[in-house]
Structures are given as C-alpha cells and as structure tokens.
Amino acid sequence: MSQLKSVFIVLAAITVFGCTTKKEEAAPAEGATVVEEKVAVVAEEPLKPLPELGELDMKKVALGRKLFHDTVLSGDGTLACSTCHTLDHGGAEPRKTSTGIRGQIGPINSPTVLNSSLNFVQFWDGRAKDLREQAEGPVANPIEMGATWEGVVKRLKGNDKYVAEFAALYEDGITKSNVTDAIAVYEEALITPSRFDKYLMGDQNAITEAEKKGYETFKAVGCPTCHNGVLIGGGMFQKMGLVNDYFKDRGTEVTEADLGRFNVSKNLAEKHFFKVPTLRNVALTPPYLHDGSRATLEETVLVMGKYQLGRELNEAEVNSIVAFLKSLTGELPPYARLPGT
Ligand code: HEC
Ligand code: HEC
C-alpha cells in the first residue's frame, strides 16, 4: 500500500471512529492497526453505516415535529403528515395505498420518512429534489391533505403559539418556506442507527449468526446491486421488473403510478423505474412495494429474486435474507415523538 493511501486510511479512520482517537494517541501503533482493519472492512462492504448527526437546532426540530403531527396542515383539519407516516409503523403506513382527505384512496404506498434525508431524491419517481421541496407537495395535493398554502399560513398565523415559535426562529415569521424548512429539519433528525450499523463498524456481536448468514446470502444473490450505501437503497432509480415482467404477472391493470420515473422524465426507457427504496426499518413497514401489493417481507423478497434478479430463491434463502433485514430495524431518537406520546 502506498504511503499516501495509508495516511488517507488513518485519516478516514479518525473521522469514522472519532471516538477512538484518544486511545490512538495513547498507543499509536497498536490503536492504528486495529482501526485500520476496521475501516478496511467497512470500505469493502457495499452497505455503509449511517453518518453521525451534526449538531441539531432542537427548537427547530421541536417546531417541525409539532407541524408534522398537526392536522392544521390539511384542508379540513383531519390529516397530519403523521397520519400517513406513523412513527409506530416505521415512518410509513399500514395501508396498501394512502387514504387522503375525505377518504380518497391515493395511487401509491407511502414510503418511510425515517432517514429520508439521505435519499438521493424524494418520492418513488424522484419528482422532488429534497425534503423542503417534498413537503410542499402533500399539503396542496387535492387527494392528500387538500389544503392551500395560503390557507395553511393563515391558520398558523391565527395561532399565538405558532406565531411566537416562528418569530423566535425565523426573521420573516410564518411563511410556506419556513414551514417546510422546520418540517425538513425535523425529518433530517429522524436518523435510526441499528444493530447492523454496529456490526459494520466492527462489533462482531451486534448481530446474530443467523443475521450474519442472511447478510452473506443478501450479498451472494446480488441484492446490493441496487440496495447499497448508507440507506441500503435510496441512491438510484431502477426498473421494477428488470429481468421478468412484473406488471404482466401482477394481474391488475397498470396504473399511471406504475409508470414511475416515466411520469417525470417522459423518457420511455424509464417506464416502471422507481427509486430503489431504503431497506432500513423495512420489517416495520408492511405492506410493500410502490403498489402495496405484498403483505410480508417473505413474499417481497421472493418477488425481488424473481423480477429483479431472475432467481427463484428457495425457502431457506428467503428466510435467511428476512432474518438479516430485521437487523436493519433501528432506534428512533428520543426527540422523535411529541412529548407525552
Ligand atoms: C394522505 C397520506 C399522506 C400524507 C398526509 C402525507 N404523506 Fe408523505 N407520502 C405519502 C405517499 C403516498 C408518498 C409517496 C408518493 C409518491 O412517491 O408519489 C409520500 C412520500 C413522502 C416522502 C418521500 C419519501 C421517499 O422515500 O421518497 C416524504 C419525505 C414525505 N412523504 C413526508 C411527508 C410530510 C412532511 C408530510 C406532511 C407535510 C406528508 N408526507 C404527508 C403519503 C402521505
Ligand atoms: C435491479 C435492482 C434491484 C435488485 C437487484 C433488488 N431490488 Fe429490491 N427493490 C428494487 C426496486 C426498484 C424496488 C421498488 C419496487 C416497487 O416498489 O415496485 C425494490 C423494493 C424492495 C423491497 C420493498 C421495500 C418497501 O419498502 O416496499 C424489498 C424488501 C426489497 N426490494 C428487497 C430486496 C432484496 C432482499 C433483494 C435481493 C434478493 C432485492 N431487493 C434486489 C430494486 C432492486
């Protein structure tokens, strides 16, 4: 290994394992080797541990949290963001597709908001570039929250507590962009490290033997081609039915929502392309896929094998992969929930 490269690795080691720097100072040679090995392991893996959160503006997080759970954002005061992104359901919803204002059934399953700031784009079809842009969407969507931003800002301005809280944080007080900013700051704070992250960082005992075996199966059959990086997904668009025709076999009519990325790019080559979803917390978020058509992880893994990889996975492989997927369930940070809930 060139000297430059090893310097880089040690530097990277210090950044990644910030907590071990002190030890290294005490015993540089020994400490450095251990850390170097750990980083080498992490560097080779297609899956990456979650980054540490920077310093949080807890006042903004609290304001965003309140807005996220407040039905004032919907046209008739019946729906909050949390209605379709429930913390008790892994940040998603226990329905096939969303039910919006006045019981209207939406076209697509709601993805999780947990760790969503790490997605390369937002929505299944990537039509929003980030969380701020994303949060504008559901409020004004006639079949989601069915409100107008003018109406939302007016209602918030009629609430003395909100007026004071916004005034303390934003020079121009209550505006659409400050509302979406506060919500985005809250969402950015919803990072959920799991036992698997500890394992990736070198703690061999953080996951069970069955989960380790499952991770090996996950890699051996090729899942990380699409589900990789810190989100184990969230980094690219891919065709649903890459190897076999999923929509032909599904047996229900192809909807506009099924066209995925094509709806945004109008590029026929991107028909049925979706953002590869994160697999973090996936055990908590049934039903699965953009159409909410699969009720269990086992079924979904079988579908992935057949349509994305052209492999008929056997029962042992499926169960092994599902065991691994369960190790991706993370811990909600303590400030995620509204006080008293
Ligand atoms: C009526 C149910 C419903 C409500 C209310 C709702 N959402 Fe969603 N949310 C969805 C659905 C469905 C999608 C996926 C839509 C799509 O991709 O076309 C989604 C997507 C998202 C995403 C993108 C996640 C990803 O992986 O791409 C985020 C972030 C999000 N919503 C946050 C919010 C916030 C913030 C609010 C409140 C301002 C909100 N949602 C209100 C149902 C809802
Ligand atoms: C060629 C890319 C690709 C490969 C390979 C792939 N997936 Fe996927 N995966 C996707 C896409 C795209 C979706 C979303 C499809 C949809 O919703 O219609 C998805 C969805 C999922 C979901 C559902 C997540 C949710 O929240 O609904 C699970 C679970 C999953 N994949 C697991 C796996 C496993 C396990 C493997 C390996 C056996 C695998 N995937 C291989 C691209 C891929």
- Answer whether residue 4 shows pLDDT above 50: no
Q: Which atom of ligand 2 sits closest to the CA of residue 297?
A: 29
Distant-in-sequence contacts of 26-33, Cβ < 8 A, 24+ apart: none
- Answer whether residue 43 shows pLDDT above 90: no
Nearest residue (CA) to ligand 1, atom 43: 84
Domain assignment of residue 251, yes or no:
yes
pLDDT of the residue at 37: 54
Kindly report whether the global pTM for this prediction surpasses the value 0.85. Answer: yes
Domain assignment of residue 49, yes or no:
no
* Same domain flag for 88 and 204: no
pLDDT 10s digits, 109-132:
999 999 999 999 999 999 999 999
Residue 230, token pair as written in the block: 């810190």
Q: Which residue has the higher pLDDT, 204 or 20?
A: 204
Among the candidates 188, 209, 237, a domain finishes at: 188
User: How many angstroms is it from 96 CA to the middle of ligand 2?
Assistant: 17
Distance CA(98)–CA(141), nearest Å, equals 12
Domain assignment of residue 51, yes or no:
no
pLDDT of the residue at 340: 83
324, 214 Cβ separation under 8 angstroms: yes
- Answer whether residue 280 shows pLDDT above 70: yes
State the catalytic residue, choosing from 37, 133, 136, 144: 144
Distance CA(74)–CA(67), nearest Å, equals 11
- Answer whether residue 33 shows pLDDT above 60: no
Q: Which residue has the higher pLDDT, 239 or 27?
A: 239
- Buried residues in 273-306 as b, exposed as e (16+ CB within 10 A): bbbbbbbbbbebbbbbbbbbbbeebebbbbbbbb
Among the candidates 164, 188, 212, a domain finishes at: 188
- Answer whether residue 16 shows pLDDT above 50: no
- Answer whether residue 77 shows pLDDT above 90: yes
pLDDT of the residue at 44: 85
pLDDT of the residue at 341: 81
* Same domain flag for 82 and 108: yes
* Same domain flag for 7 and 24: yes
- Answer whether residue 3 shows pLDDT above 50: no
* Same domain flag for 14 and 93: no
Of the pLDDT bands very low, low, confident and very high (cuts 50, 70, 90), residue 11 is: very low
Nearest residue (CA) to ligand 1, atom 2: 84
* Same domain flag for 131 and 235: no
Residue 31, token pair as written in the block: 């400490």
- Answer whether residue 31 shows pLDDT above 70: no
* Same domain flag for 84 and 183: yes
User: How many angstroms is it from 130 CA to the middle of ligand 1?
Assistant: 12
Domain assignment of residue 50, yes or no:
no
139, 149 Cβ separation under 8 angstroms: yes
**Closest alpha carbon to 24 in 39, 35, 9:** 35
Of the pLDDT bands very low, low, confident and very high (cuts 50, 70, 90), residue 9 is: very low
CATH number for the domain that contains residue 177: 1.10.760.10
Domain assignment of residue 335, yes or no:
no
In the chain, the amino acid numbered 217 is T
Instruction: Compute how many other C-beta atoms are within 10 angstroms of the C-beta atom of residue 13.
Output: 23
* Same domain flag for 106 and 18: no
Report the domain count for the chain.
Answer: 3
- Annotated active-site residue 144? The verdict is yes
Residue 338, token pair as written in the block: 């509204």
Of the pLDDT bands very low, low, confident and very high (cuts 50, 70, 90), residue 23 is: very low
* Same domain flag for 248 and 216: yes
Average pLDDT of span 17-33 = 40
Domain assignment of residue 227, yes or no:
yes
Whether residue 86 has its Cβ less than 6 Å from ligand 1? no
Among the candidates 166, 188, 210, a domain finishes at: 188
* Same domain flag for 110 and 135: yes
Distance CA(62)–CA(183), nearest Å, equals 9
Distance CA(69)–CA(185), nearest Å, equals 14
The overall average pLDDT reported for the chain is: 90
Query: Where in the sequence is the domain holding 75, given as residue range(s)?
Result: 58-188
- Answer whether residue 252 shows pLDDT above 80: yes
pLDDT 10s digits, 144-168:
999 999 999 999 999 999 999 999 9
Residue 104, token pair as written in the block: 């209207």
* Same domain flag for 280 and 214: yes
* Same domain flag for 174 and 200: no
Domain assignment of residue 317, yes or no:
yes
24, 31 Cβ separation under 8 angstroms: yes
pLDDT of the residue at 39: 55
Domain assignment of residue 15, yes or no:
yes
Q: Which residue has the higher pLDDT, 5 or 208?
A: 208
User: How many angstroms is it from 4 CA to the middle of ligand 2?
Assistant: 38
Q: Which residue has the higher pLDDT, 254 or 23?
A: 254
48, 230 Cβ separation under 8 angstroms: yes
Question: What is the percentage of the chain residues whose pLDDT exceeds 70?
Answer: 87
Whether residue 73 has its Cβ less than 6 Å from ligand 1? yes
Average pLDDT of span 95-120 = 95
* Same domain flag for 261 and 150: no
- Answer whether residue 65 shows pLDDT above 60: yes
In the chain, the amino acid numbered 13 is A
Residue with tokens 């890699």: 219
